Structure 1
Amino acid sequence: MDEEQQSISAALGVSVDFYAEREVQQRTEFLSHYLRQSSCRSFVLGICGGVDSLAAGLLAQKAVSELRADGYHAKFIAVRLPYGIQADESDAQKSLAVIRPDRVLTIDIKPAADAMLDAVMVEGGDLVEPARKQFHLGNIKARQRMIAQYALAGATGGLVIGTDQAAEALMGFFTKFGDGAADILPLAGLTKRRVRAIAEHMGAPAELVFKVPTADLESDAPLRPDEDVYGVTYEEIDNFLEGKAVAEPARLRILTTYQASGHKRDLPVAPIG
């Protein structure tokens, strides 16, 4: 591992060693402890059908089950947040069947997302490049989903779980104040292959664990693979984070993207201190 790789991996919390069983125990305890410490009573998480929300959901359900066994009233609320009809809805339903949440709700974000974009276009249409319209709508979708999750958390004395992990954090592959906004991040510091290992260890089927990752935000490119957007593979990203050798073109792509997306990982800046 060169010095730059080591510095970035450390900043993103990627550990040298990884054992799925130990990580499941520690991250479950982390969720349980924080919920009790905050005097909250529920976790809320959007389930999309991908392995990140699957793994986070399994950890959340395990945490609240253990809390209840210890006499602390807690529940896990899983929420489906489709934009109309989701192309891979069947995978989301399979994920829910594996997780077995205490409560499942469905909130269609399409009316709210479309209304917001329409409102922006009334006076700001000249500022939106036509070729980028679906990209902007995708970010609106992500933020509408978080609005819904916080509404549910507020109603149930809950905390919103985010699915951010080290591979996406490295590439800045999240929407600021959308899927990048949450109260607690049980997958932080994990590479994609390690998230998969946790899900597999917790009994998730291979078809969900190794499903091709997609953010599915742009309506004109449904289920576009994350790796197409990155220009590098998750294997290369994970190898970079785990200190393994990476081909120079991929390394440069990763470093350039990491540096350009730095503002997404920072808290809001202020002219003091």
Structure 2
Amino acid sequence: MIDLRFSEAELEQRREHITGFIRDRVDAASADGAVIGLSGGIDSTLTANLSVEALGAENVHGLVLPATVSSEENMSDAELVAQNLEIPYDVIEVEPIVDSLLAAYPEAEGDREAVGNARARARAVLNYLVANHEDRLVVGTGNRSEAAVGYFTKYGDGAVDCHPIGNLYKGQVRQLARHVGVSEELAAKTATAELWADQTDEDELGVSYDVLDSILATHIDGPLSIAATARLLEVDEATVDRVRGMYERSEHKRTAPPAPDPLD
């Protein structure tokens, strides 16, 4: 794999750049702060830390949004992050909202992907309910790796006002988190979207984040062909091709909904 790690000086530059970005987005919207969904994972943990640094703890509202498939460990970690940062937070159960959706459309019962995405979209609705009520922005927690392959729910965790860590590959997220003082236990934690039971990101993606980051940096964001990327990284061409396919199929998630071109 290729080394995408930052130097100490670069880490501090990223830290200052991202905190400045958060402040600028909130100021530009004349908002009173930020709302962040806390999952107990490294992405939301780093985003919360940087948002507190940018805005002050009193101006960051955390939401812990458990569902029946959420692990007690992750929800406990999410609350611990809020407590350690001394930000106000609320715990709101998501499953009653999902149950009401399935009661309205029972045909989707048992469809793991549809129900899992409904959970993500229910969380987005709650984020915006609180943000609108408090005149805040919803600050997203998506990273560059997951955005590139569409590993997020459209109008779910992708429904936010800004993505402060959206320019960082997953490995860089972990590195910056360590730099700002996040515990090693959280920084090295197995990533999961928890849309259904026992889900992990890498199992669902079918590739480790180290491999994914390297393929994205050299082939998707970089100039190398599939064959050259496979040789450099010592992986199968089929793996590179599959990542390429995920990138191309998920383009609709990264762009605004299309409309026809205007008539002359």
TM-score of the pair, normalised by structure 1: 0.83
Q: Is the 8 A contact 1:79 1:105 kept in 2?
A: yes
Could you say which residue in structure 1 is the equivalent of 2:125?
A: 147
Could you say which residue in structure 2 is the equivalent of 1:258?
A: 247
Q: Is the 8 A contact 1:193 1:238 kept in 2?
A: yes
Measure, in 1, the Cα distance between the counterparts of 2:252 and 2:81: 32
SS at match of 1:59: helix
Unaligned runs of 5+ in 1: 1-14, 69-73
Measure, in 1, the Cα distance between the counterparts of 2:177 and 2:112: 32
* Cα-to-partner distance string for 1:119-168 (whole Å, 9 max, x where unaligned): 112xxx2xx4x7x6122111110000010010101111100011111110
Could you say which residue in structure 2 is the equivalent of 1:77?
A: 61
SS at match of 1:242: helix
Where in structure 1 do 4 or more consecutive aligned residues deviate above 6 Å? Answer: 15-18
Structure showing greater relative contact order (alpha-carbon pairs closer than 8 Å, 6 or more residues apart): 1
Measure, in 1, the Cα distance between the counterparts of 2:69 and 2:238: 38
Of 10, 22, 35, the match for 2:26: 35
Matches within 5 A, 1:133-144: 133-144=111-122
Q: CA deviation at 1:83?
A: 1.0
Q: CA deviation at 1:16?
A: 10
Could you say which residue in structure 2 is the equivalent of 1:158?
A: 136
* Cα-to-partner distance string for 1:247-272 (whole Å, 9 max, x where unaligned): 22321111011111111112101012
Aligned residues: 241
Measure, in 2, the Cα distance between the counterparts of 1:199 and 1:28: 13
Q: Is the 8 A contact 2:69 2:195 kept in 1?
A: no
1:223 aligns with 2:198: yes
Could you say which residue in structure 1 is the equivalent of 2:81?
A: 95
Measure, in 2, the Cα distance between the counterparts of 1:223 and 1:203: 28
Instruction: Note closer, same or farther for the CA distance 1:16–1:202 as it changes in structure 2 (3 Å cut).
Output: closer
Question: Percent same amino acid at aligned positions?
Answer: 32
Measure, in 1, the Cα distance between the counterparts of 2:155 and 2:147: 14
Q: Is the 8 A contact 2:64 2:79 kept in 1?
A: no
Could you say which residue in structure 1 is the equivalent of 2:213?
A: 238
SS at match of 1:46: strand
1:113 aligns with 2:98: yes
* Cα-to-partner distance string for 1:172-200 (whole Å, 9 max, x where unaligned): 01111000110011011110011111111
Measure, in 2, the Cα distance between the counterparts of 1:134 and 1:178: 16
Q: Is the 8 A contact 2:190 2:200 kept in 1?
A: yes
Measure, in 2, the Cα distance between the counterparts of 1:16 and 1:52: 17
